[in-house]
Structure 1
């Protein structure tokens, strides 16, 4: 989780990320988020995986943002299909618990206290939440470990499921099919390498794309932009500070 405060007006595109994003809105006026269909949500929101064009904006923003691995999000949020390409209000998933959590966060005196409140809420809901298939959790971990460069058939064989069963259960609990999820994980790796200053040609070669055109097509699919535009996206600029890399072999800043 990370805390964000911007006193100046904010208007930025959200770059798709291989995690479900929860923004707990603490500002006034409330945060506004537009999705690819033109629907606008206000206040605390959940941004699912690969939602297409999503834009967050407000005259000033204060929010506590969470990133949840999809199997964890399925359990904590009580959501499944909503974890795919959608943006929904947190109250649609948590009901009155969303308002109670927001109220406690707003009354807190420090970010550390807010983090503790949010963590307690997550633990409580995780304990009481929907069960997650361990096979689905394993499949997701494999996609992350291999940065999307792993065959779905291999994962299915390892867990003893058919490819059809893996697709069905994975989609039911993450909102995406495993192949689409693998593309998203690989795209995220490529996006951060571009933001780190690597050329599109090198990024395509290092992240398993067939060629540079293949990389361009995925960037267009996930963001509607070009590699040069994606490389300077504000959403990615703040990423290494708010969400520091944890893999020792990662060459991101």
Structure 2
């Protein structure tokens, strides 16, 4: 376990030594003695948070909703900057699920999450609490990652896959950094535009244009974090200009582009999810 230090934040961070056996799954482990309120930054994945510590994470929404314990969040949670997490003595495994496999793993399609949050108990019942108990009893982080991965692999095997055309369209959007022209995706898979939009939305939880915006924002946010030039980011990521980039960052985070690197939820990514972010500045680790 390494230490993430960013301003007043200090977290223990663990990463698996091997990739998941399930394509589309990445994991990280966290221990935080005192998790001061941090803003959740939207990400183009379904987030599964399995807590097993003495404390319990609390997630608050600006509208007044509150959730405790192990959670599942739809892709893009936190858009508008109005979702915050906090807690004491928090220990958890965080899983990022590609929307193309999330429905099979969770047992419900991401569309039923509608970009929001549900407790893991609501989806998995007793299986959720059993996983938390086993993680608490596990002697090491490699054991915790192995336990989690085995469960995800079993559920993935038994779950229903999304349409190949939908999975292809999602991969095309991700590989392009959100710059793919979504108007042409339907023609490329041989579907009508209406059919692709409908199937994409029902199976992945968001329409193709929203998916492209979210992927493009995520790509730009990590380049901002790495210290890249704003004008170059705007040009490379397919924004019309710097003003367009500015508006999108504010819409997704509630803060200006220059403040994105000060968001601990995003700044921990180079340490917690190595290889998933552009090269550049990284937070201190010890």
Correspondence for 1:134:
164
- Could you tell me which runs of 5 or more consecutive residues in structure 1 were left unpaired when the two chains were aligned: none
Look up the SS of the partner of 1:2 in the other structure: strand
Matches within 5 A, 1:36-47: 36-47=62-73
Matches within 5 A, 1:201-216: 201-216=231-246
Residue 189 (structure 1) shift: 0.5
Q: Deviations over 1:129-171 (max 9, x none)?
A: 1231111111111111101101112221121111111110011
**Which stretches of structure 1, 4 residues or longer, exceed 4 Å deviation after superposition?**
none
Contact 2:54 2:90 in 1 (8 A): yes
Correspondence for 1:180:
210
Between the aligned partners of 2:216 and 2:84, the Cα distance in structure 1 is: 22
Contact 2:217 2:248 in 1 (8 A): yes
Correspondence for 2:24:
none
Residue 127 (structure 1) shift: 1.1
TM-score if structure 2 supplies the norm length?
0.84
Match of 1:110 among 122, 130, 140: 140
Contact 1:192 1:252 in 2 (8 A): no
Matches within 5 A, 1:1-253: 1-51=27-77, 52=79, 53-80=82-109, 81-245=111-275, 250-252=278-280
Correspondence for 2:15:
none
The alignment of Structure 1 onto Structure 2 pairs a total of residues equal to 251
Between the aligned partners of 2:202 and 2:120, the Cα distance in structure 1 is: 19
Contact 1:13 1:235 in 2 (8 A): yes
Look up the SS of the partner of 1:7 in the other structure: strand
Larger helix percent: 1
Larger strand percent: 2
Look up the SS of the partner of 1:60 in the other structure: strand
Q: Which has the higher contact order (CA 8 A, sep 6+)?
A: 2
User: 237-246 vs 168-177, which deviates more?
Assistant: 237-246
Between the aligned partners of 2:280 and 2:163, the Cα distance in structure 1 is: 32
Contact 1:10 1:61 in 2 (8 A): no
User: 75-84 vs 203-212, which deviates more?
Assistant: 75-84
Root-mean-square deviation (Å)? 1.5
Look up the SS of the partner of 1:9 in the other structure: strand
Look up the SS of the partner of 1:12 in the other structure: strand
Residue 252 (structure 1) shift: 4.7
Q: Deviations over 1:39-70 (max 9, x none)?
A: 11100001211122221100221110000000
